[in-house]
Amino acid sequence: MSFSVGIVGLPNAGKSTLFKALTKKSVEIASYPFTTISPNIGEVPVPDPRLKEIAKIVNPQKITPTTIKFIDIAGLVKEAHKGEGLGNQFLAQIRECNIILEVVRDFKNLNVEHIEKSIDPQRDMEIIKMELILKDLETTEKILEKLEKKVKSDNKEAKKKQEVLLRIKKTLSQGKKISEMNLKPEEESLIKEFRFLTQKPVIYLLNTDDKVLLNPNTLKLNLKLEEEISELSREEIKELGVKSNLDYLIRACYNVGDLITFFTIAGGKEVRAWSIKKNSSIIEAAKKVHSDFQEKFIKGEVISWQELVKISSWNKAKETGQLKIVGKDYKVKDGDVIEFKI
């Protein structure tokens, strides 16, 4: 399953413009709220120059990058957690995403209505933050009610969950996000099933008509310009001397999501990149490639992409003992080239 990024924000912030620029898909864009009702979904390749370097050696029939799924979710408004503006439906869509990419309006086009009647990025970010907090608070209270019977019957796991959830309720009631709590790994594991909105990593993207700013967690881009660039051919881009910054945004989503890339070469037929969470085992990597690889795994042959490029041949790396033979406990590293033995 692809790593997914939910594009959220107030109506008319530029979410669908960004989605169109990223995916090259035609979507409805208008200057009034709630143009998007059903979410737009698109797979976007993750830029990675290492693929080409590996392909130079392998000379495959096919090169396949890893992808991120972007989901353009309709605009949220005040009281969305109570269902305003179809809010509950849209908040449920955010729950399915791995990270949140929040588009914040910072452009001054009088022809595009702002639902709050003025341009104030900080206020808009606070509105979204509070809606996510209030929805998580509502969810927490419902879960605690359901747990009550199990706690009374002395269920140990239910008691542990209750302890964590009561702390979460207190934090949310103070207007703070769950991500600010510094929960322990075992506590995170206890609440993982609830997919809380304010536990997800967030990237803020200011949609501006001013200068571009590239920071890992807060970006400023002119999304209208990015949309126009996305419609140009390579020749036109070169001729006009323009440059898109969307690759930076895609990489930022990838990094904030705590992802790394490993590669497979499929016997020389296909060089392919795969996304996986940092500190994942080779068994988890095998499952990404094929369920059979996970079930029938015997060992893995691994080499870093730099070493492979240096040696310039998989067979030569094997003959000279440069391939590392690893078992089920091996933790995959970013840039590993792996052949699974089953």
In tens, the pLDDT along 206-257 reads 999 887 888 767 899 999 999 999 999 989 999 999 999 999 999 999 999 9
CATH class, domain 279-341, is alpha beta
Alpha-carbon gap, residue 133 to 123, rounded angstroms: 15
Residues of the chain with CATH 3.10.20.30: 279-341
Q: Which CATH superfamily is domain 3-199 in?
A: Obg-related GTPase Ych/YyaF, coiled-coil domain (1.10.150.300)
Where helices occur in 24-155 by DSSP H, the ranges are 50-58, 87-95, 121-152
Six token digits for residue 220: 């400023």
- Residue 310 has what pLDDT? 94
- CB count within 10 Å of CB 53 equals 14
Closest CA to 225 of 13, 18, 31, 15: 18
Sign of torsion over alpha carbons 198, 200, 204, 207: negative
Could you tell me the pTM of the whole model?
A: 0.86
CA dist list (Å): 114 to 14, 32, 77, 82, 146: 11, 8, 11, 21, 40
156-173 helix and 121-152 helix, angle to the nearest 10 degrees: 150
- Residue 84 has what pLDDT? 52
Average pLDDT for runs of 10 along the chain of length 342: 86 91 69 54 93 93 94 75 57 87 90 84 93 92 93 90 96 96 94 95 92 81 93 91 92 93 92 95 93 88 95 91 93 96 87
| Contact in structure between 340 and 287 (CB atoms under 8 Å) | no
